[in-house]
């Protein structure tokens, strides 16, 4: 069992969420609801890992989850 952090970004104009997986470059998806976005993320990660394994590349691991911070800019 592997665990990856996903970033869910609300899409204000279009609705739903965009999803990225920082530890897996190029692994993106989306969903109309939070639940759908998370399920699509699981599917995208599974497919990404299947491709990596099939190509004989090492499976990326997430050493530490990314940190989020908010900064103010004048």
pLDDT score for 3 = 93
Q: What is the pTM of this model?
A: 0.88
The model's pLDDT over 16-40, given as tens digits with 9 standing for 90+, comes to 999 999 999 999 999 999 999 999 9
Number of domains, the chain: 1
Domain residues for the domain of 47 are 7-54
Classify residue 70: in a domain, yes or no.
Answer: no
- Per the structure block, which two tokens stand in for 60? 């990326």
Classify residue 62: in a domain, yes or no.
Answer: no
Classify residue 26: in a domain, yes or no.
Answer: yes
């Amino acid at each position: 069992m592997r665990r990856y952090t996903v970033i869910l970004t609300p899409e204000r104009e279009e609705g739903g969420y965009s999803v990225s997986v920082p530890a897996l470059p190029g692994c993106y998806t989306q969903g109309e609801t939070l639940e759908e976005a998370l399920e699509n993320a699981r599917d995208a990660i599974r497919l990404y890992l299947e491709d990596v394994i099939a190509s004989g590349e090492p499976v990326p691991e997430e050493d530490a989850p990314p940190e989020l911070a908010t900064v103010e800019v004048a």
